[in-house]
Amino acid sequence: MSNLDNLIQKIKLDAQSQADAMRKEADSKKEEIVNGQVKLALEEKSRIIEKAEKEAEVIKNRIQSNADLKVRDEILKAKQEVIDKVFLLAKEKLINLDDKEYSEFIKNQISTLDLTGEEVVIVPENRKDLVKNLGLNLKVSEEETIDSGFAVVNKNVRLNFSFETLIDFLREDLETKIAQVLFKEKE
């Protein structure tokens, strides 16, 4: 029986050796598969993090851009309010010209017009007597008045020199210059 025992023992050892080799090969393949999956997972993690960082940068830039636009809009709004105030103050100053300044204004403006003498000048109620005494050779309207400045009417033509109209007419040209002076801006 010893040959049989030796043979069985040899078969067992061979089987054990084959099993160990198969186990080692399986462990090696398992290790290779696990390492491959870990590597894939780490690469995927890197891609996800990189994508998230790019998206975060885009979001950050968008937020910054929106904030910059809001700040710019608020600055523009504040500047426009200041410019509006300048025009309002200019209108108020013109409306409150003293008699001498008003007389010079109306004489200067009328001297630039090609008048026939048939025109009627319309002035504020409180300036009628003043204008009548300026010797303009124009009739001062008794029925109609204007808030500021004056208007000249000849049949169907009305030339409006009210301070509001003059300032509104000049506003577009003046706004840039006023902004340059107030805010030290360059064209």
Q: Which residues contact 97 (CB under 8 A, 6 or more apart)?
A: 105
Q: How would you classify residue 81: left for phi > 0, otherwise alpha for psi between -120 and 50, otherwise beta?
A: alpha
State how far the Cα of 139 lies from the Cα of 131, in Å rounded to an integer: 9
- pLDDT tens string, the chain, 187 residues long: the values are 678 788 888 888 888 888 888 888 888 888 888 888 988 889 889 999 999 999 999 999 999 999 999 999 998 899 889 889 988 898 899 888 898 998 899 988 888 888 777 888 998 988 888 888 888 878 888 888 898 989 988 887 888 999 998 888 888 888 888 888 888 855 4
- The answer to whether residues 151 and 162 touch, using CB atoms and an 8 Å cutoff, is yes
Q: How many residues does the chain have?
A: 187
How do beta strands 151-154 and 139-140 pair?
Answer: unpaired
Structure tokens at 101: 């300044």
pTM above 0.85, yes or no: no
Instruction: Tell me how many helices (H) and strands (E) the chain has.
Output: 4, 4
User: Where would I find the beta strands (DSSP E) of 53-113?
Assistant: none
CATH number, span 97-183: 3.30.2320.30
DSSP single-letter state for residue 127: G
pLDDT of residue 51: 92
| pLDDT score of 173 | 86
CA-CA distance, 106 to 123, in Å (whole number)? Answer: 10
Q: What is the pLDDT of residue 57?
A: 92
Burial class (CB in 10 A: 0-12, 13-18, 19+), 154: middle
Alpha-carbon span 94 to 110, nearest angstrom: 17
Please state, in angstroms and rounded to a whole number, the distance separating the CA atoms of residues 127 and 121: 11
Cβ(163)–Cβ(176) under 8 Å? no
